[in-house]
Each structure stands twice: as C-alpha cells, then as structure tokens.
Amino acid sequence: MKCKKLVSIMLILTLVMVSGSTAYADEMTDKQNQYDAVQNRLNGAKKQYDSLGDEVEAGEKEIRTTDSSIQGLNSEIENMNSKIEAEQDKINSATDKLNKAIEDYNEQDERMKKRICAIYKNGTSYGYLEVILDSTSFSDFMSRTDIMQRILDYDVDMLKEMKQKREAIDKEKAELEQSKAELLAQKNTIESKKNQLEQQKAERKTLVAKVSRQMNQLKSYMDQEEATAKKLQNEIKALQSNTGNYDGSKYAILKRSDYPKGTSPVITSGFGYRIDPITGEKGAYHSGIDIGTGRTTNIPVYAMASGKVILAKWYGGYGNAVVVDHGGGLSTLYAHNNKLLVKVGDTVSGGQKIALSGATGRVTGPHVHFGVMKNGEYINPSPYLLIGN
C-alpha cells in the first residue's frame, strides 16, 4: 500500500516538474519570439530610417547645388541688366543726336525755303531773266549767277549731308534697339532657367520636409519598439533569474578527440573589435570567440556548465544557435551549428552534448562561435572557454 502511495507521489511530482518545465519553456519561447519579432521590426525600421536619412541628405545637397546655380544665374541677370542699361544709355544718346539732326535738317530746310522765297518774292517770274536785266554788266551778271548757284548748291549739299547724318544715326539707333532686344531675350531665357530652378528647389524642399516628417514618425515608432524590446528583455531576465545561481563549474565545449585526425581546435577570431571577415570593415565588433573545426562539420558541441536551455533555433546571423542560462544572470551562446540536440526548457548538465557544429548563418566557413552574456550583455568569454582532450 505504502509502495503504491510512493509511486503515486513520484508520478505527481514528475508531472508537476514536467508541467513546470513545459510552462517555462512555453513562456520563454513566447517571450523570445516576441523579442525577436520586435528586433526584426526594429531592424527593418532602422534600415528604412537610414534610407530616408540618405534621401534627406541627397535632397539637401541638391538644394545647396540649386542655390549655387540660382546665385550664378542672378549674377548673370545682374550683368545682363548692366548691359541692357548701357545699351539704353546709348539708345538715349542716339535718340538725342537723331532729334538734333532732324532739328538741324528742318532748320536748314527752312532757311533754304526762305532764301527761295526771297529770290521769288516778286513772284515766280523772277529768275535768271531778272538777273540778266538787272545786271549792270556781264561780269555783274556772272557774279550774280554764281552767287545764286553757290547758295543753292550749299543748301542742297547741307540737306544731303544732314539727311545722311540723320540716316546714319537712325541706323545706329535701330542697331542699338536690336542689341537691346537680344539682351532682353537672353535675360528672359536666364530668368526662365532661374524660375525653373526655383521651382525645382521648392519641390525638393517639399520632398525633404515630407521625408523628414516620415523620419520623425519612424523615430517615434522605433522609440516605442525599443521600449517594448527593453520590457521583453527585462521579462526574459526575470525568467532567467528563477533558474538559481551559477555554481562556478566549467566544462570543455569542444574536445580534441572529436576532431578528424590531423586537425585540432584553433581559435580563429577573438573577442572585441576586428576586421569583419565578410565586409572587410575595420572596427567591427565581435561578441564572442570563434573556434575553427578543421573545415568539417558535425563535431560535438558541449554545454560549458549546467543550466536551462532558453533559446534553441535559427537566430539570424548566428544560424542554428543554443543559449543556456546558468543562473545568476550568466548565459552562454553556441552558434553556427549544423544540428541542435536540445530544445527550449531542457535542463542540461555541464559537458552535455547540445549541438553538432556547422557553418550556418553569417559565416565564411565551419566553426563554433562561443559567447558569454552577463545580465544580457556580452562579456569576454575567455575565462569560461575550455577545450578538452
């Protein structure tokens, strides 16, 4: 009877432990999935934010270039206005000369008319006959005739000269008017270009303002998501804090005996800043230590210490990854695995096989990435790394 009772108690305790473990695993997985979803949204938003920032920068650069072009056109317009003003001054001067020439021509014409009237003041019959009859001698006649002819020739020559002068000034004025018209046409072309640039500038400013508003909205969204991520991170830490304290034990995460003959574990990249092996970027942060696997995969990976599995899945650039919580805020990461041998919620012992190495995620070749986190922050994993024989 007592035996049956003991079996029943054991069964109940087992069910409670399994139930508790399952509930923990479900809650941890749920929180981790929520956190990952938030991080994915944040990464997408950050990329979009950076893209919008590039768009704003390009727009502002274009505005500065347009401003410079507008200033250049303004200088051209000022220069053109000076030329037009100079041409107008020449036109005004030519107009004054032309008016004076017309006035002189009219005066000379009037004087000639008066002289003709004086010659014919006694009627149209007075002419060469009267000159002959009124002459006292032949020499007097010749003198009178020569004087009359000279006066007439002078008047005619003067009128011709004045007419030519007036025509020359009139032509000069017409050429100046044409030059002014051409300058005005050039000015209108430049002002048209300026107006187009002003319009482009206004459109670009409107676009930059619109994109800036989108960036502000996106920043507000990112702030909210980051607050959500922080809250989930704290909730995950709270779940981790229930796993007890790290006992200080350390086990080898890799064993030389598991490696193919002629190969052995070699650290290929240390913790901290380095040259990114994929992009070549200098100063890239490396959150753990990489141990090469001799260009082979499926080498056993062991837990550094006992604890509870809080992540076991594909984890972005880490590929297939396992995270074990050892208590006291300490957890370890094993990344780029070919196969995972544990699941979230599993309790593992130090030195227990948890994965098989691989080359999944963001890698250049097969290796094991080992990381250590203290209260969610990556620390130097060297003091926790052991490689066994």
Provide DSSP, 21-42: HHHHHHHHHHHHHHHHHHHHHH
Supply 110's token pair.
């009037």
Q: Decide if pLDDT at 190 tops 50.
A: yes
pLDDT at 183 (0 to 100):
82
pLDDT at 125 (0 to 100):
41
**Mean predicted lDDT score pLDDT of the chain:** 81
Supply 75's token pair.
């200088």
Quick check: pTM over 0.85?
no
Highest mean pLDDT pick, 103-112, 127-136, 325-334 = 325-334
Find the angle CA(147)-CA(150)-CA(151) to the nearest 5 degrees: 85
pLDDT band at residue 148 under the 50/70/90 scheme: low
Q: What is the pLDDT of residues 159-175, one digit of tens each?
A: 787 778 778 888 887 88
Amino acid at 385: L
Q: What is the pLDDT of residues 317-354, one digit of tens each?
A: 889 999 999 988 899 999 999 999 999 889 999 999 99
pLDDT band at residue 4 under the 50/70/90 scheme: very low
Q: Decide if pLDDT at 8 tops 50.
A: no
Q: What share of the chain is helix, strand, coil (3-state, %, to 5)?
A: 60, 15, 20
Task: Give the number of other Cβ atoms within 10 Å of residue 239's Cβ.
Answer: 17
pLDDT band at residue 10 under the 50/70/90 scheme: very low
Task: Taking residues 15-20, report their average pLDDT.
Answer: 43
Task: Taking residues 236-256, report their average pLDDT.
Answer: 81
Taken in order 237, 243, 245, 250, is the CA torsion positive or negative?
negative
pLDDT at 295 (0 to 100):
85
Task: Give the number of other Cβ atoms within 10 Å of residue 5's Cβ.
Answer: 9
pLDDT at 363 (0 to 100):
86
Find the angle CA(103)-CA(166)-CA(163) to the nearest 5 degrees: 90
Task: Taking residues 52-79, report their average pLDDT.
Answer: 89
Find the angle CA(222)-CA(47)-CA(319) to the nearest 5 degrees: 100
Average the pLDDT over each of 13-27, 181-195, 276-290 and give the range with the smallest value.
13-27
* Secondary structure (3-state) at 244: coil
pLDDT at 256 (0 to 100):
94
At which residue do the structure tokens 């006035």 appear?
A: 103
Give Cβ neighbours of residue 208 (< 8 Å, ≥ 6 apart): 56, 59, 60, 63
Task: Give the number of other Cβ atoms within 10 Å of residue 238's Cβ.
Answer: 10
> What are the residue boundaries of the structural domains of the chain, listed by start?
24-242, 256-384
Amino acid at 382: S
What CATH code is assigned to 256-384?
Answer: 2.70.70.10
Supply 187's token pair.
């000015």
Task: Taking residues 188-212, report their average pLDDT.
Answer: 89
Could you give the CA distance from residue 344 to residue 342 in angstroms, rounded to a whole number? 7
pLDDT at 44 (0 to 100):
87
CB contact at 8 A, 352 and 322: no
Task: Taking residues 93-99, report their average pLDDT.
Answer: 80
pLDDT at 171 (0 to 100):
86
pLDDT at 140 (0 to 100):
65
Phi-psi region of 312 (alpha: psi -120 to 50; beta: other; left: phi over 0): beta
Q: Is 63 exposed, middle or buried (0-12, 13-18, 19+ CB in 10 A)?
A: middle
Could you give the CA distance from residue 108 to residue 102 in angstroms, rounded to a whole number? 10
Q: Which residue has the higher pLDDT, 372 or 139?
A: 372
pLDDT band at residue 141 under the 50/70/90 scheme: low
Average the pLDDT over each of 139-148, 281-290, 302-311, 375-384 and give the range with the smallest value.
139-148
pLDDT at 144 (0 to 100):
63
pLDDT at 105 (0 to 100):
74
pLDDT at 126 (0 to 100):
44
pLDDT at 213 (0 to 100):
92
Could you give the CA distance from residue 355 to residue 370 in angstroms, rounded to a whole number? 12
